[in-house]
Chain A
Amino acid sequence: MDLKHTDAAPTDAEREAVDSLLGPPPSGWEGGTTRSDEDLRWARGGASAAKDRRDQLLPALHAVNDRIGWISEGALGYLCRRLTVAPAEAYGVATFYAMFSLRPRPPKVLHVCTDLACAARGSAALCADLTRDFAPAGTATEGATWQESPCLGLCERAPAALLIQAGEQPRSARPADPARPAFEDRGPGGGAHGYGRGREGEQRAAGAPHRTAVIAPATPAALTHAIRSPEHTPPQPPPETAVPQTGSPGLVLLKRIGTTDPASLDAYRASGGYTALRRAFALGPAGVIREVLDAGLVGRGGAAFPTGRKWEATAGQPDTPHYLVCNADESEPGTFKDRVLMEGDPYALVEAMTVAGYATGARQGFVYLRGEYPRAYERLSHALETARTRGLLGPDILGQGYAFDIEIRRGAGAYICGEETAIFNSIEGQRGEPRSKPPFPVEKGLFGKPTAVNNVETLVNVLPVLEHGAAAYAATGTGTSTGTKLFCVSGQVAAPGVYELPFGASLRELLELAGPPQDLRAVLLGGAAGGFVRPDELDIPLTFEGTRAAGTTLGSGVVLVLDGSVELPRILLRIAEFFRDESCGQCVPCRIGTVRQEEALHRIKDRTGAAAADDIALMREVGQAMRDASICGLGQTAWNAVESAIDRLGVYK
C-alpha cells in the first residue's frame, strides 16, 4: 500500500482530540510533527500496521467530532496518517454517518426527532415553532444549528430532542487518562446527563466542554432555551419513568429498574446480580448452552433465531479468537427498550455478556451502542469500569481463570449499523454496509472470526435462564415463544413506556395496561419494518407464531398506537422517507427502490381509489423485488409497513 496523504494540516485542537484517543504519535511516520534520526532510518507503518489499527477509525472520528463539532480536511488527514488509512477511504467512512459533518458547522447541534412516535405527538408543529422562534433548520445562528432527526429512541417522552455541544472532554472521560477518577455517583434519577456535567472545576479555560442534553418531552420554549444555554437544561427523569410497571411483581427483565441503583455494583449484587455467572461457571460452557437451548430462548431482535444454536455454532468453530458482539444499535423507530435496560440496569448487560462470552469461547466482547444514547453510554461505561476493578471483568473473572473484557463502540447515526454484519464493518472502521451471507457470523464475523451477535434484550434474558433454570424459564410464555417480552408502547396512549409481559398475552391486554385512546385507528406492530394492525384485530396473541399467523410480526417489540387524529398517508410517507434516508446504498433494489416508493407515496398522498391504483401497483412490483433481491433486511422489509397499511387498513381506498 502506497498512501498519498493530503497537505492539509490539523489545528492544535484537532491534533489533541485525536492524540487523546490514540496517544501521541510514536514517530514522524505517523503524523508526528518532527522526525527524529531514528525515523529517517526506520520506516514504520505499511499494510500490517493499518490492519491492526483500522478499527480505531470510528472512535477517532468521534473524538474529532466531539471536540470540534465537525471533521475538517486537516483533521481527517491527520487521522489517516495516524492510522495508515487512505484519505479517500476515511472520507468514504466519515460521510457514511449522519452524526458527522465534513463541512464547518457550529459547535451546538440540536437534533429534533421527527420520526413516527414524535410525529404522532406533534413534532411537525415543534419544528415550525423552532423555525419561527430560533432559525430555519440547518442555519447557523448564535453558535448553534438544529436539524430534523430520525428516531432518537425517546418515544415514551415524545416529542424529543437531543442537543450535542462539541467541546473538550472532561478529563475523567478521556480514555488516555490512566488515573481516571471514579464516576460521580448520583444514584438513580440523579440527573447525571451529559459527559461534561459537574466537572467544571476540571475543564480547561480553553473552551466550552463537550456536553449533551436530552429535551423530552420538548416544547418550543424548552428547545430554544436548551440551544441558548445547554448548561441549564433540566435533568432527565430517571429511567424508571419509562417503566410504568415499576415495582410490580412478575417482572423479570425489568425487575431491577427503579428498585436497584443502576450505578451501584453492590446494589446489583444485593438484588441477585452475578448469581447467573456463578451458575454458568458451575455448569461449564457446554452446560450453559444446553440450558439456553432447553429454555427455548430465541433472539429478540426480530429474526427469532434460537440463541442456544447460535452460541453452539460459534463455540464449535475451530478458528480463533471468537468474538461476542452485543447489538445495542437500537434504531428502529419506536424502539427504546434496550436504552431503558442499559440506563436502568447496566450491570445486567455486563453480566449477561460475560456469560455469553464464556459460553461461546470469546475473550473480547463489544457493545455496539447507538451514538444517540449518551446516558446509556455513561451508565454502561461506569458499570464496565467498576466491574473491572472488582474482578468481574478482566484477566481472571471471579478467580475462575476465565479472561473476558468488554469494549463499547459508539455508532454515529446509521440505522443500517444495527444489521449484524454491518456492525462488523462499522467496528472494523469500514463503511457500515451489510455483508452478503453466507458466510454467516458464527463462521466469519468480526475481523473475519467466529462471532456471536445478540441484542441487549436477548442477552439479558440469559440471566433468568441461568438463575432459575431452563424449565422454570420455559414455563412462562407459550410452547415456542418462551419467557417474557419487552414491548415499547408509544403514540396516543395514556402511559407510554416499556412493558414486560409473558409471551402469549394479547395486544388488547397490553393496550389496556397503557391506556388506549378512545378512537383507536391503528397499531403499528414491529416498527417501520413491521406491519399495521386494525382495531378489530387486538386479540392477536403476542407471540412469534401468533403474529406470524396473523400476517404481521413482533419485530423489535414496537407498539405504536395511532388514533383518529393521525393522518396515515403522512405516517407512511415518513416511513418511506426513513428507509430512503437509511439505505446504505450498496444494492440497487434498496438504493433506488426506496426512492421510487417514496416518490409514489408523495404522488398519492391526497388520492384514493382508482387515482391511486397505478402507483400502488407500481409500489407492489418494486416492493416485491426489494423483498426478494435486496442484500439485507433493511431493503427486504422496507415495504412491509406500507403494504400492510394498504392491505389491512385500506388507507388509499
Chain B
Amino acid sequence: MTAVPLRLPRRLIEFTLDGQETRVPEGSTILEACRAAGKDIPTLCQGDTLTPKNACRVCVVEVAGARTLAPACSRRAEAGMTVLTGSERARHSRKVVLELLASATDLSTTPRADEWIKEYEAKPARFGAGAARVNEEPKVDNDLYVRDYDKCIQCYKCVDACGEQWQNTFAIAVAGRGFDARISTEHDVPLTDSACVYCGNCIEVCPTGALSFKSEFDMRAAGTWDERAQTETTTVCAYCGVGCNITLHVQENEIVKVTSPHDSPVTHGNLCIKGRFGFQHVQNRV
C-alpha cells in the first residue's frame, strides 16, 4: 500500500453538471468533477502527474454563457457554473478534433482513440487522400528509446516532463510554428548529442506511443508485441537506496518495458536511466 499524504481540507463549491447539482472541493477542475460523477470525457494531453496544457481540445465542454467551449482538464469549476458535457456543440468539436488528429497523425498506438472515433462518429478520411500529414520517419538514434513523431499530437507532456515540471533537463522543446511545429532537440541533433539523460520520463507521460522503448518499437515492427499477454509486476528498484517503485512489464518471461506507479509519493511515475532501462542484466541467461 502506498502512503497518500493528506491535504488540508478544502471548501466545497456547488455547480450544475449536466443538470445535476454537484459539489466538488474548491479548485477542482471540471474534468475531476466529471470523473467523480462517473462521466467519461475523452482526454489526450491531460496527465495525472502534470499540469495540463489543454492543447489537444478533445475534452471541451460547454459552460453556459461562455462564448467558446472550455477545456474540462484545466478549467476550474466555479460556484454557480452550469456545465454541459454532452451538448451538441461540445460533441461536434470533439468529433472534429478527433478527425483532424487522426487525419494528420498516426493514432494506432493511442489508447482508446479507436473507441472515441467510433463513439463520436469521426471520419478522418473525409479530408481526402491528399490531406497534409505530419509524415515523419521514426527517429532511432540510440538503443533505449525511439521517437516516432508521426504519432505525435504535440500535447507538450514530454517537454514539460523533461523540463521544469519534473526532470529539469530541458533536452527537448517545441520548435517551429503551426503545422510544422515539432518536438525537437536543439538544431534537431540526435538524442545522443543532446542534453538527454535517458530517464525515459517522457515515455512515461506520452499519451500516443510517439515515444516508446526500443524493445517495444522492435517488437511492434516484428509483430510480436502483445499487450494482453503481458503481466505487470510492481517491485522496488535495486540500484540505489531511494527505493523507487518500478513496474516490470513481462511478456513470455522477458521484461519488455518498465514503468513506474504514478501514485507513488516519492517518484510520481518518474525514474532514472537505471530504473527505466537497466533491466537487461535480469534476463541474462548464460
Check if A599 sits within 8 Å of B128, measured CB to CB.
yes
A436 to B60, CA, bound (A): 13
Check if A585 sits within 8 Å of B179, measured CB to CB.
yes
Check if B173 sits within 8 Å of A91, measured CB to CB.
yes
Check if A625 sits within 8 Å of B92, measured CB to CB.
yes
Check if A588 sits within 8 Å of B186, measured CB to CB.
no
Check if A86 sits within 8 Å of B173, measured CB to CB.
yes
Question: Given known contacts A95-B176, A629-B69, what 8 new A-B pairs fall within 8 Å (CB)?
Answer: A2-B169, A73-B187, A88-B175, A88-B184, A91-B173, A588-B55, A592-B101, A625-B96
With beta carbons under 8 angstroms apart, the residue of B60, B164, B176 that contacts A96 is: B176
B78 to chain A, nearest CB (A): 9
B170 contacts A by Cβ under 8 Å: yes
A627 to B66, CA, bound (A): 12
Check if A88 sits within 8 Å of B68, measured CB to CB.
no
Contacts of A4 in B (CB 8 A): 169, 171, 194-195
Check if B92 sits within 8 Å of A621, measured CB to CB.
yes
Contacts of A2 in B (CB 8 A): 168-169
A202 contacts B by Cβ under 8 Å: no
A255 to B93, CA, bound (A): 48
Please list the 6 inter-chain residue pairs (A to B) with the smallest Cβ-Cβ separation, ordered nearest first: A86-B170, A585-B181, A92-B173, A625-B96, A4-B195, A87-B186
Check if B176 sits within 8 Å of A88, measured CB to CB.
no
Interface magnitude class on chain B: 35 or more
Check if B101 sits within 8 Å of A89, measured CB to CB.
no
A592 to chain B, nearest CB (A): 4
For chain A, the count of residues having a C-beta within 8 Å of the partner chain is: 51
B92 to chain A, nearest CB (A): 6
Check if A595 sits within 8 Å of B132, measured CB to CB.
yes
Check if B130 sits within 8 Å of A1, measured CB to CB.
no
B56 contacts A by Cβ under 8 Å: yes
Contacts of A73 in B (CB 8 A): 187
Within 8 A of A (CB), among B170-198: 170-181, 184-187, 194-195
A sample of 12 inter-chain contacts (CB < 8 A) reads A1-B170, A86-B163, A86-B170, A89-B173, A95-B177, A96-B176, A580-B178, A588-B101, A588-B153, A622-B96, A624-B92, A627-B68
Within 8 A of B (CB), among A69-97: 73, 76, 86-92, 95-96
A335 to B174, CA, bound (A): 30
Check if A91 sits within 8 Å of B184, measured CB to CB.
yes
A586 contacts B by Cβ under 8 Å: yes
Q: Mark A540-569, 1 if CB is under 8 A from B, else 0.
A: 000000000000000000000000000000
Q: Mark A613-639, 1 if CB is under 8 A from B, else 0.
A: 000001001101101111100001000
A268 to B256, CA, bound (A): 75
A371 to chain B, nearest CB (A): 15
Contacts of A91 in B (CB 8 A): 173, 175, 184-187
A455 contacts B by Cβ under 8 Å: no
A594 contacts B by Cβ under 8 Å: yes
B51 to chain A, nearest CB (A): 11
Contacts of B54 in A (CB 8 A): 436, 587, 631
A582 contacts B by Cβ under 8 Å: yes
Most buried by A among B57, B93, B177, B187: B177
A98 to B55, CA, bound (A): 22
Contacts of A588 in B (CB 8 A): 55-58, 97, 100-101, 153-154
A583 contacts B by Cβ under 8 Å: yes
A589 to B69, CA, bound (A): 12
Check if B55 sits within 8 Å of A88, measured CB to CB.
no
Nearest-neighbor residue (CB-CB) of B89 within chain A: A628
A90 to B187, CA, bound (A): 10
B10 contacts A by Cβ under 8 Å: no
Check if A583 sits within 8 Å of B178, measured CB to CB.
yes
With beta carbons under 8 angstroms apart, the residue of B168, B181, B195 that contacts A88 is: B195
Nearest-neighbor residue (CB-CB) of A621 within chain B: B96
With beta carbons under 8 angstroms apart, the residue of A584, A603, A629 that contacts B178 is: A584
With beta carbons under 8 angstroms apart, the residue of A87, A89, A589 that contacts B97 is: A589
B74 contacts A by Cβ under 8 Å: yes
Within 8 A of A (CB), among B55-77: 55-58, 60, 68-69, 71, 74-75
Check if A414 sits within 8 Å of B186, measured CB to CB.
no
B246 contacts A by Cβ under 8 Å: no
Contacts of A587 in B (CB 8 A): 54-57
A596 contacts B by Cβ under 8 Å: yes
Nearest-neighbor residue (CB-CB) of B104 within chain A: A592
A622 to B54, CA, bound (A): 19
Check if B55 sits within 8 Å of A586, measured CB to CB.
yes
Contacts of B95 in A (CB 8 A): 625
A581 contacts B by Cβ under 8 Å: yes
B247 contacts A by Cβ under 8 Å: no
Check if B179 sits within 8 Å of A595, measured CB to CB.
yes
Contacts of A584 in B (CB 8 A): 177-178, 181
Contacts of A595 in B (CB 8 A): 104, 131-132, 179
With beta carbons under 8 angstroms apart, the residue of A593, A599, A631, A636 that contacts B130 is: A599
Contacts of B195 in A (CB 8 A): 3-4, 86-88
A248 to chain B, nearest CB (A): 39
Contacts of A589 in B (CB 8 A): 57, 93, 96-97, 100
A273 to chain B, nearest CB (A): 39
Contacts of A95 in B (CB 8 A): 175-177
